[in-house]
């Protein structure tokens, strides 16, 4: 647990940052206990980022979630990473879409299809696929989904600029919730869900299964998912991709501490931490850390806490799991999908795997 605040720093009188307060309602009176409804609870004690930082820095080993890497600065640094010589995944996947996109698109000739984009990231690949679908004669609607309204607006505007006249139906929501909404308001269109860029790599094996099962549940039989997997390869190539010579990846990782300083009144001195990325051959994960180079105590005002670091103590920040072809097959198998096609770049460093949702009729066992 974090220690008490320094005596020299009195508690601020301001309340902790909280989520928007829902309407007040008095709890149902049931004598000796109350059933509290969500609307009975005025506020959550901490916002999501603050709560996650408090929890993670209280763990041993300490950790911070990679989902918070992508504030405005972090997103900018990631766009820079995508242009780096050492960061091969973006180039490999662009090559795959360029070479094999038309074959994917041909499956949807004459079909009304929603191109559903989970985490647009590099809009360029999505634009290529949309062009290819239109060229194949698919009746395509673009459906980007993002939890951030700002990010969604940017994605919609970029696409509208590139493909004037393209129907766009953006959804601001969590991915799975948005997909449930989309299929519940079914307009008879086939959904082709994009989960590109090796974003699945941030999940461990169990989390990846959970996420894909949730996707499967939310989708209709006959819908498709196109997922980008970074493949296992020469370890030196992996290490270089996460330890680039210009230090952009280091700055991207370090930005987490910057973000805590900016948003939570943190007092991290970035010169006292270093970026470290390593590969675990056994789990197949690139692992990223921020390592404290000396013994130090860091206050985070908003959390009313000090965090102690020993010399060379790490904070875990990110996993990027790498896959074997057999891992991809077993993942599809165990989550209810049939692999329609797996496409590779010429070096076979990366794969985009196209999966079809298979659901059996209850009682019958007939695959759709």
Q: Which residues bind ligand AVJ (CB under 6 A)?
A: 81, 89, 197-199, 201-202, 242, 249, 252, 318, 320
Rounded to the nearest whole angstrom, what is the least distance from the CB of residue 197 to ligand AVJ in the complex?
5
Contact 342, 100 (CB under 8 A): no
Tell me how far apart the alpha carbons of residues 113 and 122 are, in angstroms, rounded to a whole number: 21
Question: Between residues 201 and 284, which has the closer beta carbon with respect to ligand AVJ?
Answer: 201
Question: Between residues 89 and 144, which has the closer beta carbon with respect to ligand AVJ?
Answer: 89
Tokens of 98: 């360029």
Before 131, cis peptide (omega within 30)?
no
Question: Between residues 138 and 208, which has the closer beta carbon with respect to ligand AVJ?
Answer: 208
Rounded to the nearest whole angstrom, what is the least distance from the CB of residue 237 to ligand AVJ in the complex?
13
The residue with its CB nearest to ligand AVJ is 320
Tell me how far apart the alpha carbons of residues 315 and 285 are, in angstroms, rounded to a whole number: 16
Rounded to the nearest whole angstrom, what is the least distance from the CB of residue 96 to ligand AVJ in the complex?
15
Rounded to the nearest whole angstrom, what is the least distance from the CB of residue 201 to ligand AVJ in the complex?
5
Question: Between residues 242 and 268, which has the closer beta carbon with respect to ligand AVJ?
Answer: 242
Tell me how far apart the alpha carbons of residues 95 and 97 are, in angstroms, rounded to a whole number: 6
Question: Between residues 88 and 108, which has the closer beta carbon with respect to ligand AVJ?
Answer: 88
Question: Between residues 82 and 339, which has the closer beta carbon with respect to ligand AVJ?
Answer: 82
Name every residue whose Cβ is closer than 8 Å to that of residue 165 and which is 6 or more positions away in sequence.
none
Name every residue whose Cβ is closer than 8 Å to that of residue 44 and which is 6 or more positions away in sequence.
18, 19, 51
Rounded to the nearest whole angstrom, what is the least distance from the CB of residue 160 to ligand AVJ in the complex?
24
Tell me how far apart the alpha carbons of residues 82 and 87 are, in angstroms, rounded to a whole number: 6
Rounded to the nearest whole angstrom, what is the least distance from the CB of residue 325 to ligand AVJ in the complex?
19
Contact 357, 224 (CB under 8 A): yes
- For the chain, counts of helices (H) and of strands (E): 10, 13
Tell me how far apart the alpha carbons of residues 316 and 324 are, in angstroms, rounded to a whole number: 24
């Amino acid at each position: 647990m974090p220690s008490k605040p320094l005596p020299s720093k009195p508690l601020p009188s301001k309340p902790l940052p909280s989520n928007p307060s829902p309407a007040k309602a008095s709890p149902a009176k049931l004598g000796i206990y109350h059933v509290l409804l969500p609307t009975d609870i005025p506020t959550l004690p901490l916002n999501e980022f603050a709560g996650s930082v408090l929890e993670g820095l209280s763990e041993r080993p300490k950790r911070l979630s990679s989902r918070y890497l992508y504030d405005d600065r972090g997103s900018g640094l990631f766009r820079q990473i995508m242009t780096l010589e050492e960061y091969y995944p973006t180039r490999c996947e662009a090559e795959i879409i360029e070479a094999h996109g038309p074959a994917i698109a041909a499956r949807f000739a004459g079909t009304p299809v929603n191109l559903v984009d989970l985490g647009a990231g590099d809009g360029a690949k999505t634009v290529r696929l949309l062009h290819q679908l239109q060229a194949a004669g698919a009746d395509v609607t673009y459906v980007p989904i993002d939890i951030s309204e700002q990010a969604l607006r940017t994605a919609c505007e970029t696409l509208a600029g590139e493909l004037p006249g393209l129907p766009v139906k953006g959804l601001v929501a969590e991915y799975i919730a948005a997909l449930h909404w989309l299929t519940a308001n079914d307009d008879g269109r086939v959904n082709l869900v994009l989960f590109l860029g090796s974003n699945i790599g941030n999940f461990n094996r169990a989390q990846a299964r959970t996420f894909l099962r949730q996707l499967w549940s939310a989708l209709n039989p006959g819908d498709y998912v196109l997922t980008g997997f970074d493949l296992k390869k020469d370890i030196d190539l992996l290490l270089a991709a996460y330890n680039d010579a210009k230090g952009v990846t280091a700055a991207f990782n370090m930005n987490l501490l910057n973000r805590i300083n900016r948003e939570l009144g943190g007092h991290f001195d970035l010169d006292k931490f270093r970026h470290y990325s390593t590969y675990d051959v056994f789990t197949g994960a690139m692992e990223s850390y921020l390592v404290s180079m000396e013994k130090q105590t860091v206050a985070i005002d908003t959390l009313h806490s000090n965090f102690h670091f020993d010399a060379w103590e790490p904070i875990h920040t990110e996993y990027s799991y790498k896959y074997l072809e057999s891992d991809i097959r077993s993942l599809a198998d165990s989550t209810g999908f049939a692999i329609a096609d797996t496409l590779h770049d010429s070096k076979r460093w990366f794969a985009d795997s196209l999966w079809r949702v298979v659901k059996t009729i209850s009682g019958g066992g007939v695959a759709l």
